[in-house]
Each structure stands twice: as structure tokens, then as C-alpha cells.
Amino acid sequence: MTSPLPSSSAASVLDLAPVVPVVVLADAADAVPLARALVAGGLPAIEVTLRTPAALHAIRAIAEGVPEAVVGAGTVITPEQVGACTAAGARFLVSPGWTEALLAAMRGSGVPFLPGVSTTSEVVALLERGVREMKFFPAQAAGGTAYLRSLAGPLPQARFCPTGGIGPQTAPEYLALPNVGCVGGSWMIPAEAVAAGDWARIERLARTAAQLRDAGERCR
């Protein structure tokens, strides 16, 4: 499968940046300035979750207005949503969990995807199906770094983007793990900053988040 990710980067969403911002937007008009702030701060991969009616409009706006961003769709839970998201311009897909039907739709979408897992059996089932990159969700509630560290020994071929309850203090601990490519989080997108249109603040927070891989290296 040809990756729709930038040719200058690795062909994996996990390698674009240490943090993937998880975005929930009530107003699609905020999508472009928010994406520009995140990209300027060094976070080009942006996951817009399908939690609001504005989500697809936001994905389309970013895809058309911020070409340097790699916009993806999160909280994808049905095969129908897969088609709607890629039609809107999503360049990767993220789900909180998976079924056979959803996995087939994501695999057939032509874009990279991260199906969600929270148990060892789910990881093994995806490996059996040829999927090696996954979302670990909800990360903190499902066992956090201790759980992922335990998986690295018997299942070293699996790589994860942990999401759920992760903040700037805990992100370096995840990024230090050999089976973690990046983490997902929303701490660099405070709701009050979006409401106020304080894109400069979001850019500053994104820049700090983009440096967390170095902190993760120091945790090894």
C-alpha cells in the first residue's frame, strides 16, 4: 500500500512526531488556525476525533487549507465512517477498538490506520492479521507504561501510540519504551485557548510537546 504520508518522512504515523494532538472541535472555523499553530510548533500529525458534528468539516478544512499538516480522523468506529473520513481528506485513521468489519474497511481505505487495543489477546489477534501498529487505549486506565513494558518482551513486533490520560509529565515515560512510537494527547490544546483564539499559546505548547522525545530518551 502506498502511504499518503509525506515522502520526506518515514511511512508511519508513529514516526511523524513524538506527540499526536487529539483534537475535539465544536466549530470547524477553528480548524485551520489550530492546525497552523500545531504545525508551526512541530506537531504535523493531527487527529481530529469524530466526537462532534463539526469533525468531518474540520478534517476537510485542514486537508485543503493546511497542506503541511497530516490530518487524520479519530474515534472511527464504523466502516461507514472510514469512507466519509477519507473522502473528507483524512490521511490516517484511528479507532478506540476494532472489529473484523472495521478492520477490513480501514485496511481497504488506502491510508494508514491505528486500530485500538487494550489487551494482550487483541494485540496478538492484530499481529495474526498482519497489523503491527496500534493505538493503546485507554492508556493510563489499561495499565500504562508498566503494561506496555511487559508486552515488549513477548511481542516486540508490535508498536503503539498510547492515548488516554497522558500528559506532559507522563509522556516521556511512554516515549522511553522501545515499543512506543508516539503518544496521543490533548494537553497542548486547552479549551479556553481555542475559545479565545489564542493560537500563539497553542503553538508554544505544541513546541514544548514536540521536544518530549528528547525527554523520553533521557528516561531510558
CA-CA distance, 83 to 87, in Å (whole number)? 6
Helix intervals (H) in 5-119: 31-40, 55-65, 79-88, 100-107
CA-CA distance, 133 to 143, in Å (whole number)? 18
CA-CA distance, 160 to 154, in Å (whole number)? 15
Q: C-alpha cell of 166?
A: 497522558
Which one-letter amino acid corresponds to residue 211? Q
Using the structure block, give the residue that is written with the C-alpha cell 492479521: 129
**Spatial strand order in the sheet of 159-162:** 116-117, 133-136, 159-162
Return the H-helix or E-strand segment holding 109: none
Catalytic (active-site) positions: 47, 135
What are residue 135's phi and psi, to 5 degrees? -95, 135
Do 22 and 137 touch, CB atoms closer than 8 A?
A: no
CA-CA distance, 163 to 182, in Å (whole number)? 9
